[in-house]
Amino acid sequence: MGSDMKVTFDPVTTILREIDRSQETSGEAPCPVRDVLDRTGDKWSVQVLLRLAPKPERFNALLRSVSGISQRMLTVTLKGLERDGLVERTVFDTRPPSVEYTLTPLGASLIEHLAALANWAIKNEPQISKNRAAYDNEAPAP
């Protein structure tokens, strides 16, 4: 190999190597990319995380602000986010007890990336909708 040969790894190559490594050792550890996407790719987690980004919220405030979520699904979502260390739950010794949720430093570090993805989705949704309609209107292949 000559000294003028340069090896570089772009971010996608690095991610794909990690995915491949995880698949080779699937019995030992889950793929970190898939693991995080499983948590953030569900119907409610991104909305809850983004609602908590500006400030801590109490359960009922979150329930009102996340359109369409049931009390049970909010509970399940918050427990999953808490388990992953993205959200912290604080119980206040009041009558009745009140609970507040806030992003952890780890959760806050994810917001920038979620916001970028959300902005991309908002910007490109018209084109994606147009593409879907065109695809759906095409005659099925024999």
- Tell me which DSSP letter residue 103 carries: E
Specify the 3-state DSSP secondary structure of 90. strand
CB atoms within 10 A of CB 119: 10
pLDDT in tens, 93-137: 999 888 999 999 999 999 999 999 999 999 999 999 999 999 999
Domain coordinates of the chain in residue numbers?
A: 42-137
Ranked by mean pLDDT, the top range of 15-19, 35-39, 50-54, 90-94 is 50-54
Tokens at residue 17, please?
């190597």
Contact (Cβ atoms closer than 8 angstroms) between residue 107 and residue 81: yes
Q: How far is Cα 116 from Cα 11, in angstroms, rounded to an integer?
A: 16
Fold of 42-137: Arc Repressor Mutant, subunit A (1.10.10)
Specify the 3-state DSSP secondary structure of 86. coil
pLDDT of 122 reads: 95
- Tell me which DSSP letter residue 97 carries: -
pTM comes to 0.76
Give residue 90's pLDDT band: very low, low, confident or very high (50, 70, 90): very high
pLDDT of 12 reads: 77
Q: Lowest-confidence range among 34-43, 47-56, 57-66, 123-132?
A: 34-43
